[in-house]
């Protein structure tokens, strides 16, 4: 369902028994704007966010411009808000939706092919496309209209090291579904010793490859924050260049059991530079 930005199966499996807790790009500056950028403006009662759309994700860029110019987003809500995670909107069913109505399944009737790029990651302030889960959407295609803006949080080196391990194990499990099935069985039965033993076995295999978060991304996740577990699973297609504080204001509102703000947070979206 498009409303939910969920961890993939392998992340959920590994987190269940965990202690709670690519190629690099060249632009590490938050909110960097260069000549010729396409800019959009999202207006809310909490302030305005000016966002540049990336040229590296042309399908998402073209689609967002098209919808914004047509007035598609105007009057829609940020219908799903989770503090220290993200704010989500773009569901056409949210326009004039009565209080308490379950939202998050609407769209324009089409999806967009994923456009993953290792230099575009989930740092605070990026805009990315929501999508349906892997069980019905193995190609990770994006919703035609629903998007989220990352608030996230800051991570420690220890947390990022643990995440690297989870990603590495997940990549291996995805290539070996029989192991994933076995891990799932241990999870369902609560057999932690067997699960831990399986994980150690995987890490000692010759074809196991350890993933490392690029150093410049790690630095940003430690100092600016974000949601690194979503990288390479959801298409990031732009970032805020002005109005970063607006995310924090919206993320702090009171919400109901479905994460919908008690008081509607409406948006108006315009293309201001193309």
Chain position carrying tokens 């995440």: 163
Using the predicted structure, report yes or no on whether residue 185 has a pLDDT greater than 90: yes
What confidence tens digit (pLDDT) does each residue in 250-272 have?
999 999 999 999 999 999 999 99
Residue 243 · residue 21 · CB < 8 Å: no
How many other CB atoms sit within 10 Å of the CB of residue 229?
Answer: 17
Q: How many CA atoms lie within 13 A of 138 on its CB side?
A: 1
23-27, 192-196, 228-232: range with lowest mean pLDDT: 23-27
Distance CA 156, CA 50 (A): 29
Higher pLDDT, residue 180 or 16: 180
Residue 256 · residue 100 · CB < 8 Å: yes
Residue 140 · residue 233 · CB < 8 Å: yes
**The pLDDT of residue 4:** 46
Distance CA 129, CA 150 (A): 11
On average, the pLDDT of the chain sits at 88
**The pLDDT of residue 34:** 58
Structural domains of the chain, ranges and CATH numbers in brackets: 34-154+226-273 (2.40.100.10)
| Two tokens, residue 163 | 């995440």
**The pLDDT of residue 135:** 86
**The pLDDT of residue 36:** 63
**The pLDDT of residue 32:** 59
Using the predicted structure, report yes or no on whether residue 87 has a pLDDT greater than 50: yes
Using the predicted structure, report yes or no on whether residue 60 has a pLDDT greater than 80: yes
The DSSP code for 270 is E
**The pLDDT of residue 33:** 60
> Rounded to two decimals, what is the model's pTM?
0.85
């Amino acid at each position: 369902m498009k409303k939910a930005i969920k961890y993939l199966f392998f992340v959920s499996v590994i987190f269940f028994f965990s202690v709670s807790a690519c190629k690099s790009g060249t632009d590490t500056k938050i909110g960097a704007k260069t000549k010729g950028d396409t800019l959009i403006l999202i207006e809310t009662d909490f302030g305005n966010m000016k966002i540049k759309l990336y040229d590296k994700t042309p399908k998402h860029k073209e689609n967002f411009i098209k919808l914004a110019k047509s007035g598609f987003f105007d009057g829609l809500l940020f219908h799903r808000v989770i503090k220290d995670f993200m704010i989500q909107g773009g569901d056409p069913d949210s326009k004039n939706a009565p209080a308490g109505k379950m939202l998050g399944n609407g769209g324009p009737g089409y999806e967009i092919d994923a456009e993953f790029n290792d230099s575009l990651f989930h740092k605070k302030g990026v805009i990315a496309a929501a999508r349906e889960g892997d069980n019905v959407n193995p190609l990770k295609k994006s919703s035609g209209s629903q998007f989220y803006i990352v608030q996230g949080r800051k991570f420690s080196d220890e947390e990022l090291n643990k995440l690297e391990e989870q990603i590495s194990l997940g990549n291996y499990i995805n290539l070996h579904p029989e192991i994933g099935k076995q891990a799932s069985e241990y999870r369902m039965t609560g057999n932690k010793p067997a699960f831990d033993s399986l994980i150690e076995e995987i890490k000692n295999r010759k074809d196991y490859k350890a993933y490392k978060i690029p150093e410049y991304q790690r630095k940003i996740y430690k100092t600016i924050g974000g949601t690194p577990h979503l990288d390479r699973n959801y298409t990031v297609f732009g970032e805020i260049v002005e109005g970063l504080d607006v995310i924090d204001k919206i993320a702090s509102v009171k919400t109901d059991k479905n994460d919908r703000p008690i008081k509607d947070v409406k948006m108006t979206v315009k293309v201001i530079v193309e």
